[in-house]
């Protein structure tokens, strides 16, 4: 079920609604439920609504409408083709006496009264013929309108957060400058640097003390992630040259893979609100590999997101996947999965399950926001960033790496590819 939900979430919400509506209508109209049960389809729609892929009320309206429409079509088909089926083929073997007995038993118990209640005659005129012609058209229009307007998931808009108010003090505090080094450390250690790098403008100095956002929030719920990936390998010796495996894919293919990885929902049930910004995925890949899909670093980091084999194996086991770390698309998924796992882990331990990776939430201190902690942990491991789990503060052991990625998120040339 988890794999099915994840695969369906990659489809358009409108397409999911149309498929589900077709199955439900087909079960009532042409006994399609013998192949795909309508009840299972409705349960799946409920799970997708719970995960945020579909909107619950419009999806329910669509399912009700198509069920009535399928029942109406089945009724009309029975009235038109029923007599011919009873008198020919397998129906003739039943015999007129059994047909008459079945009809006499079914009518008083609700078959005919149910039809009369649904299409009652008014004023002595039988309205069934008139309304019977209009019913399919009306129901089809209602289905298309409801599905097109309301069934698709509402667009998730980022919430704007006002900058924290600074409290004036006599002293002055220098704000850290999000300025990358001339050559990103990770790429420099591999012996290859991107052709162009970000050139961000320094931040103006602040005259205030650290703001209220300068300390992580205390945890309010028990941990949901007790395990952790293996610690990263130590950096490679200076001067070690990277190796390459196969041919590199084009930048357009890299862009598509990274964008797709950012748009996935990695926690569809327990934390569907977790979303990894596409700028973070692109900037991390540029910092790690310069968007080289076939590069293998001396510390065994592989591909776009420089995922080490031990980390890939752990993530595949944790999320029940079989991603190939050497495939550029799967490598992007593994990197996105790691970023999402770090967001859930550190968000639960230090930010009261507030999973927003928003730079507007960052204060003067590097450990003041979830975004900086996730970036640092991606490079140094979660054990180095929260060494005492929820009991101790966040530690940022690689400040320059965080500055680089934050700057690339704003000004990297890769954002324009």
pLDDT tens per residue, range 383-398: 999 988 777 899 999 9
Domain presence at residue 256: yes
* pLDDT above 80 for 254: yes
* Domain match, 146 and 190 both: no
* pLDDT above 50 for 181: no
Q: How high is the pLDDT of residue 7?
A: 57
Domain span holding position 136 = 2-82+110-120+127-151
- Tell me which residue of 247, 70, 49, 81 sits closest to 151, measured CA to CA: 49
CB neighbour list of residue 109: distance below 8 Å, 6 or more residues apart? none
In the predicted model, what is the mean pLDDT of residues 223-227? 69
Is residue 233 packed enough to be buried (19+ CB in 10 Å), middle (13-18) or exposed (0-12)?
middle
Q: What percent of the chain has pLDDT over 90?
A: 37
pLDDT digits (tens, 9 = 90+) for 94-106: 777 777 776 665 5
Q: Provide the token pair at 57.
A: 């009320």
Question: Is the full-model pTM beyond 0.85?
Answer: no
pLDDT digits (tens, 9 = 90+) for 12-66: 667 777 787 787 777 766 665 556 666 677 777 776 766 666 777 777 788 888 7
Domain presence at residue 316: yes
Domain presence at residue 97: no
CATH number at residue 253: 1.10.530.10
* Domain match, 258 and 365 both: yes
pLDDT digits (tens, 9 = 90+) for 108-165: 554 455 555 444 444 444 444 444 455 555 555 555 555 555 454 443 333 333 333 3
Strands 168-173 and 206-208: antiparallel
* Domain match, 135 and 274 both: no
* Domain match, 138 and 209 both: no
pLDDT digits (tens, 9 = 90+) for 288-334: 999 999 999 999 999 999 999 999 999 999 999 999 999 999 999 99
**DSSP label at residue 238:** T
* pLDDT above 60 for 367: yes
Domain presence at residue 147: yes
Decide if 333 contacts 324 (C-beta within 8 A): no
Domain presence at residue 319: yes
Domain presence at residue 87: no
Highest mean pLDDT among 25-34, 209-218, 223-232: 223-232
**DSSP label at residue 54:** B
Domain presence at residue 96: no
Q: How high is the pLDDT of residue 3?
A: 53
- Mean pLDDT computed over every residue of the chain: 73
Determine the length of the chain: 417
Decide if 179 contacts 407 (C-beta within 8 A): yes
């Amino acid at each position: 079920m988890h794999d099915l939900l994840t695969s369906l979430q990659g489809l358009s919400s409108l397409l999911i609604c149309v498929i589900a509506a077709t199955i439900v209508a087909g079960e009532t109209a042409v006994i399609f439920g013998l192949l795909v049960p309508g009840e299972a389809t409705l349960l799946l729609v409920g799970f997708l609504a719970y995960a945020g892929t579909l909107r619950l009320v419009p999806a329910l309206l669509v399912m009700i409408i198509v069920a009535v429409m399928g029942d109406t079509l089945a009724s009309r088909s029975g009235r038109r083709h029923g007599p011919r089926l009873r008198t020919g083929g397998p129906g003739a073997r039943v015999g007129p006496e059994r047909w008459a007995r079945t009809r006499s038993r079914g009518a008083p118990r609700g078959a005919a009264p149910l039809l009369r209640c649904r299409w009652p005659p008014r004023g002595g005129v039988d309205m069934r013929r008139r309304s019977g012609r209009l019913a399919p058209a009306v129901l089809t229009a209602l289905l298309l309108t409801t599905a097109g307007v309301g069934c698709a998931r509402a667009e998730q808009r980022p919430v704007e957060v006002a900058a924290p108010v600074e409290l004036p003090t006599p002293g002055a505090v220098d704000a850290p400058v999000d300025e990358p080094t001339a050559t990103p450390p990770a790429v420099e250690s591999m012996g290859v640097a991107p052709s162009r790098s970000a050139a961000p403008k320094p931040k103006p100095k602040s005259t205030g003390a650290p703001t209220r956002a300068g300390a992580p929030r205390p945890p309010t719920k028990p941990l949901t992630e007790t395990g952790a990936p293996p610690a990263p390998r130590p950096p490679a010796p200076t001067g070690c040259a990277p190796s390459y495996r196969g041919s590199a894919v084009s930048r357009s293919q890299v862009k598509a893979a990274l964008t797709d990885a950012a748009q996935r929902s990695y926690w569809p049930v327990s934390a569907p609100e977790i979303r990894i910004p596409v700028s973070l995925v692109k900037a991390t890949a540029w910092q790690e590999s310069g968007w080289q899909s076939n590069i293998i670093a001396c510390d065994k980091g592989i591909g776009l997101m420089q995922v080490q084999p031990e980390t890939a194996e752990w993530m595949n086991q944790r999320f029940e996947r079989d991603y190939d770390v050497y495939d550029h698309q799967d490598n992007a998924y593994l990197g996105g999965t790691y970023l999402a796992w770090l967001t859930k882990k550190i968000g639960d331990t230090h930010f009261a399950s507030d999973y927003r990776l928003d730079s507007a939430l960052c204060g003067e201190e590097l450990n003041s926001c979830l975004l900086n902690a996730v970036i640092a942990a991606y490079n140094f491991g979660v054990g180095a960033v929260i060494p005492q789990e929820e009991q101790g503060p966040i530690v940022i052991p690689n400040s320059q790496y965080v500055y680089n990625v934050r700057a690339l998120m704003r000004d990297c040339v890769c954002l324009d590819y």
